[in-house]
Every structure is written in structure tokens, then in C-alpha cells.
Amino acid sequence: MNFSKKIVYKHIAYLFSCAIFFIFTSCEEDLTKKNGNNSKNFPSQIINNANIVQRDSGFVILKAKAPIIEKYELIDSPYTVAKKGIDIEFFDKKKPKIPGTIKAKYAKFYDYKKFYEAKGNVRITTNEGQKFAMQSVYWDQVKKRIYTKDTVYVTMEDGSTLVGANGMTAKDDFSEYTFYNNSGDFNSKRLSENKK
């Protein structure tokens, strides 16, 4: 009888150890499944008091300042965002000493698409002195087009004004632009010069 009790205890001990093994294994699997579902939409880089300078062949093409810039790189469509506003100076090789500016309360850049958006009291000043005011603007860097569907208020360097009630599209260097449903106080001399 002692012999049969030892065999029974060995079987119970064996079954007990197997049960513990399977319990721990199943717990580990649950943890990995749980961790795999966690969101990866968190910033991989955070820059406080950002002061960024971008160059092309030694020529400064852009200077940007922002209280905070966050880069989201761990997701399928990486992007960079300035949630507390941004102030950008952009330089043209034709007039390198006179920068154009863009100011907005919020900006976002989609890395792969090369697509920018700026929102909230957007102000653009070209290096020619034209001033654009709107609530949002989008820049497709690949197509070299800027557009908005918001009302656009424009003040030209000569003081004339123009309102595009249904937005505008423009080349990204503002050499050409189209306003939709526009009105304003525009210099007639300038209109005749543009027709030539």
C-alpha cells in the first residue's frame, strides 16, 4: 500500500506541476496579447523651445520657432505637430535678405505625404510684402500648391485689399494665385499691368 500511495503522490505532483506550467504559460500569452494592442500613437521625440534651421546647399531656406514640437514616428503615417503654435521664416534665393513669414496657432506635417497644414489665425507675409490672413491653409509640397477653402483677406504691398470669400489656390511661391468669389479694393493700375 505504501508503494501505491507513492505512485499516487507522484502522479498528483506531476499533474500539479503541469497545471502550474499551463497557468503561467496562458498568463504570459494574455500579457503579450494585451501589450500588442497598446496604442503607438505617442511622441517619439519632443522638442521644447524649438529653433530649427533648414538649409539647402548651404543656403538657409527655412527658420522655424515653436514652444513645443512633437514627432510621432512609431505609427503607419508619421507626422510632426506644433500644438502651441509656430513661427516660420522662409527664404527665396532671389531675395535672400527679405524672408517671407508664416504664423499659426497650430501646425502639422505629414512626413511621407510631404503635406503641411496650419490652423488658427494663420498669417502669411511674402517676401514681396503681400499679407494673407485666414483660419487654415494647406500646402502640398509635392504638387507645390497652397490652398484653403476659408475666407482669405489679402493686403497688397501698395495697400490695396482683396477678399476671397470661398478660399484660394496658389503656387507655393505665391507667384500665381486664384481667389474664389472675390471682392475688394484693388489698384486698377496693377490690374492693367497684369494683363500685359
Q: What is the mean pLDDT of residues 171-194?
A: 67
Q: What is the mean pLDDT of residues 104-117?
A: 91
Report the largest interatomic distance among the alpha carbons of the chain, rounded to a whole angstrom. Answer: 118
Residue with more model confidence, 117 or 14: 117
Q: What is the mean pLDDT of residues 120-138?
A: 92
The whole-model pTM stands at: 0.70
- Helix/strand/coil for 93: coil
Q: What is the CA 37 to chain-centroid distance, rounded?
A: 25
Q: Which helix (H) or strand (E) holds 90?
A: strand 86-92
- pLDDT band of 71, cuts 50, 70, 90: very high
Give the chain's mean pLDDT. 79
- Pairwise CA distance, residues 151 & 74, whole Å: 36
Can you tell me which residue has the cell 483660419? 135
Q: What is the CA 183 to chain-centroid distance, rounded?
A: 32
- pLDDT band of 28, cuts 50, 70, 90: very low
Cβ atoms of 179 and 156 within 8 Å: the answer is no
pLDDT, tens digit, for every residue of 29-41? 444 455 555 666 7
Structural domains in the chain, sorted by start:
43-185 (2.60.450.10)
Which amino acid belongs to residue 194? N
Per-residue exposure over 25-63, b if at least 16 CB sit within 10 Å of its own CB, e if not: eeeeeeeeeeeeeeeeeeeeeebeeeeeeeeeeeeebeb
% of the chain surpassing 70 pLDDT: 72
